Structure 1
Amino acid sequence: MVRKVGQSLDGLGSSMEVCKYKDRLVPSTRFVAVDGVTPTVDPLTAFVAPSASVIGDVTLGKNSSVWYGATVRGDVHKVSIGENTCVGDRAVIHVAKIQGDFPSVIGDNVTIGPGAIVHAATLKNSVVVGANAQVLDGSVVEQNSIIAAGAVVTPGTTVGEGQYWSGSPAKMVRKVSAEELASSAENTVETLELARMHHFETSKDHEQIQKDEEAYEDAMTRDPEYWQPDPNAKEEGDVLGQGSPGLIFDTVLTNPEEGLKLKQQRKAA
């Protein structure tokens, strides 16, 4: 009766609303189809953050990662991302259709920094795009090149192989050093390891998270000297995973003869 009265009152209030409003659960926008085309993500992709958006005709290669708040949008053209490539936090990768028919093609071992924009451009293998840099329509960045943080590569520009560009508009400053190439390769490996860790943590359900919290609280409050049964140990006579009962059930209270045996053992010792 109470439930029916509540439903009636809720219906009455809803009918009196000028602007209808209905609470909805917001679905994840991690992977979104456009015109029936869904992103193609390699099963071995390292990590796509829960708050990232991969939209439309996008191909994401093995061991690549798309970090928190990033957007990869292939709605009016395609986006292709190779292997071992990192799309940093809040970075944007988009394509062009109105001012030119350009996809975004990104090779292997590419690092796109946080807040960077790659708009309808091509990045060859082992390219580094710094934080908040922009590579715009029709531009091509050849392999082993670096675009400095905050630089703007204007539309239609070609960055030669192994060059370091900086400024707005970006210009060639010098050649990329061997140390910078080695650092870039090392950063790719470190990012892959970090991406796998984030993937493991963000894939947990609420039950796993609760178990982690309980284990953490237990580890923080339990005396380190307190004995813990080894879950991997196989003891003879184990009872319900709690170990061998030993003398728990053979006390002198329940079995007086055990008390006599214990006294004889002590005398012999």
Structure 2
Amino acid sequence: MTSIGARLVLAASNTARSVGQSLDRLGASLEVCKYADKLVPSTRFVAVDGISPTVSPYTAFVAPSASVIGDVTLEKGASVWYGATVRGDVHKVVIGENTVVGDRAVIHVAKIQGDFPSVIGKNVHIGPGAIVHAATLKDNAVVGPSAQVLDGAVVEANAVVGPGAVVTPGTVVKEGEVWGGNPAKFVRKVTAEDMQLSSENILDTLELARMHAFECDKDLEQLMKDEEYYEDATTRDPDYYPYQHGEAPEQGDVLGQGSPGLIFDSVLTNPEEGLKLNQKKKAAAAPHSSG
């Protein structure tokens, strides 16, 4: 009976599959506008009119969710963070050494109304959500979070545009000045403390960028090893032989048993370790029971 029931189920499933395929073909034949699902390509690096971004092999970090598009040059130590867009589609963008383009920042150029590239010097810090549109930022300049520097504007060396400020088209923020407001105006002179803080931020971000780049470049095998190491570190008794993260199979041999791991240190393969563990638990529980 079981065999007959199995054959009936198999026949019914084959019939249902055939009917479904026929209906799918019928529906496709009735379509007026043909539609095909397509994989969404990565927008991390995109060519425009045959021009691809030029990225230094020593660039610190370009986040997987960032977009670097067209005629863009990223120099040594530069970092483009999560959700940021650098778009050199109708003109060029140059980003100098150790410059930081913060999360969700936008750097663009101009060609239709005016003809301006975006040229950004060394050690420049562009804050999260900031916009640099067809402007020039010279060495050590700082553009605060959500600030805007617009077409043809120039922020000279060691100058600071405060958070949320809007530097209007054609404006020049002079060297060593702090500007703020909308439209942005001179606020005060840059202090030595300001410059020290900016320099420290650049160095800290460079170190952080390298760490993010290392983690984002891991393949599936490395991620699985990390997960194994984490599981081992959170479950292994401290008295057990320490697991060596990244250890090659031929390394760390113990008593001819091979490299230690989760199975090697179990009480099944090492009963004496189980006895020690039980004795340790009894000793720990003894003061409580006597009280």
Q: What is the TM-score with the length of structure 2 in the denominator? A: 0.77
**2:154·2:173 contact (CA, 8 Å) conserved in 1?**
yes
Deviations 1:221-241 (A, max 9, x none): 222222346548655974544
Which residue pairs with 1:83 in the alignment? 97
Deviations 1:48-78 (A, max 9, x none): 0111000000000101000011000000000
**2:253·2:260 contact (CA, 8 Å) conserved in 1?**
no
**CA separation in 2, counterparts of 1:58 and 1:128?**
20
In the alignment, structure 1 segments of 5+ residues that lack a partner are 246-269
Equivalent pairs counted in the alignment come to: 244
**CA separation in 2, counterparts of 1:17 and 1:90?**
40
Within a 5 Å distance, the mapping from 1:1-269 to structure 2 comes to 5=18, 8-17=22-31, 19-228=33-242, 231=247, 238-241=256-259
**CA separation in 1, counterparts of 2:243 and 2:230?**
17
**2:56·2:76 contact (CA, 8 Å) conserved in 1?**
yes
**CA separation in 2, counterparts of 1:236 and 1:178?**
58
Deviations 1:161-188 (A, max 9, x none): 1000001000111100000100000000
**CA separation in 2, counterparts of 1:125 and 1:229?**
47
**CA separation in 1, counterparts of 2:37 and 2:81?**
29
RMSD, matched Cα = 2.4
**CA distance 1:224–1:21, change in 2 (3 Å):** farther
**CA separation in 2, counterparts of 1:185 and 1:52?**
24
**CA distance 1:36–1:169, change in 2 (3 Å):** same
Secondary structure of 1:43's aligned partner = coil
Q: Which has the higher helix share?
A: 2
In the alignment, structure 2 segments of 5+ residues that lack a partner are 1-12, 265-291
Q: What is the TM-score with the length of structure 1 in the denominator? A: 0.83
Deviations 1:70-104 (A, max 9, x none): 00000000000100000001100000011111000
Secondary structure of 1:79's aligned partner = strand
Tell me how far 1:4 sits from its aligned partner.
8.2
